[in-house]
Amino acid sequence: AATDAPAATDAGDPASADTSLDPVKIGLIAQDEELLAFPEVRAVSQAMVEYFNAELGGIGGHPVELDVCGAGDAPEGHVACAQGFANADDVNIVINAGFLSNSAAASDILAGAGVPTLTLGNDFVDYLTPGVFTVDPGLPGLAQVFFVYAAENRGITTMSGFIADDPAFLPFIPVLDAIAASQGITVTEWVKLGFEPDLTGPVSAANTDNEGWVFVLADGAQCTAAAQAVQTVGYDGELFANDLCMSQDVAASGVLDGWSGPVVSSAPTIDGPDVAEINRILDTYGSDGVQTGGLAGWAIGSSIVARDVLEAAGAADANRVTALEALGSYSSSDVLGMADTVSCPGPGDWTGACNMAPLMITIVDGFFTAPDPFTQLDFTVLDFLLEG
């Protein structure tokens, strides 16, 4: 039977955890070292744990403790963190915040050790590995939402695609083409963009007659260069970008005004659901470095789900078996900043897809706004990827 998670949004009569009791641990693999880093995950997760302990009675009255293993941007550190948690008898759920191949490498070890895992939706394997779940629609969701939203909300039938000229991104082109076609959209071209500061040349070669342009880029610097090139070219159709492109600092610069794209949570928005409560929690319990942008929304949701799961699994008496059972049957409409339904497992073979509804935002005057509701997706349209 599904587990109805206790609401995590009521700030009414705070109940503090009993610090005389043994802590209940949540493991976190944080990619916050070296070049490609997401420091907001550690900071936000810690703020959420402080909130749990101060206002929600911890877990079953026991204080929650965040056990963090920091890693860099190569798989070796993530493998070491995963092995450490696999060997730790007092860690019964792990939030795996590794990026791309780092996530898969760590999740493989955690799943093999029977450790319930909440991971970042970097790749399709994250949704197909038993014992691994995500509250982020991730790349499978992003692969759909551009075209579902563009067709249903903007009436678009033709698009140009721009994609980072990187081996990690290019295999997604046929997937994106197939999903676009399923929504009645023809992607007439894919323009590969490098990482030079002036991308006017390749962007100016794209078809300005297409009704929409979609950008699947690697980071904020590449996004800024692409946006400046779009301004130079003077394209006036609909503009869409992925979440890696629309970082908070790039949006604040104003170069993306009028662009739309998906985020996992309403945390970075100014007018989405739960925004006031998210800001209150982070302002009250966050460190100076806490922020709502980047992967903050995912960290909020994953922390809430991890707490709910351990409470349902027996709190201080939880073990990996009971935690995996609770996570595999999790259902809640009270995950801060996320869609009304976060429910595990996902449909069909996509068992890890606990959240199938990203929020499409539009950037206005440098701020993320949420004029439309969460966009519900159907992961089974990706079943063609599993054939053969």
Per residue in 244-262, pLDDT (tens digit) is 899 888 999 999 999 999 9
| Residue whose entry in the numeric block shows the structure tokens 């946006």 | 227
| Residue whose entry in the numeric block shows the structure tokens 């990706």 | 382
CB atoms under 10 Å from CB of 374, counted, come to 23
Residue-wise pLDDT for 93-135, tens only, equals 999 999 888 999 999 999 999 999 999 988 888 999 999 999 9
Could you tell me which residues are beta bridge partners of residue 132? 117
What single DSSP character describes residue 46?
H
What is the token pair recorded at 42?
């550690």
Instruction: Choose among 91, 128, 88, 136: nearest CA to 107.
Output: 128
User: Would residue 204 be called left, alpha or beta, if left means φ above 0 and alpha means ψ between -120 and 50 degrees?
Assistant: alpha
Q: What is the CA radius of gyration of the chain?
A: 20
Query: What b-and-e string marks burial along 116-131, b requiring 16 or more CB atoms within 10 Å of the CB?
Result: bbbbbbbbbebbbbeb
Judge contact between 240 and 212, C-beta under 8 A.
yes
What residue type is assigned to position 235 of the chain?
Y
Backbone phi, psi, residue 368, to 5° = -80, 120
Q: Is the pTM of this model over 0.85?
A: yes
Judge contact between 38 and 31, C-beta under 8 A.
yes
> Which residues of the chain fall below pLDDT 70?
1-14, 388
CB atoms under 10 Å from CB of 64, counted, come to 25
For residue 375, the Cα-to-chain-centroid distance in whole angstroms is: 14
What span, in angstroms and rounded, lies between the C-alpha atoms of 349 and 347? 6
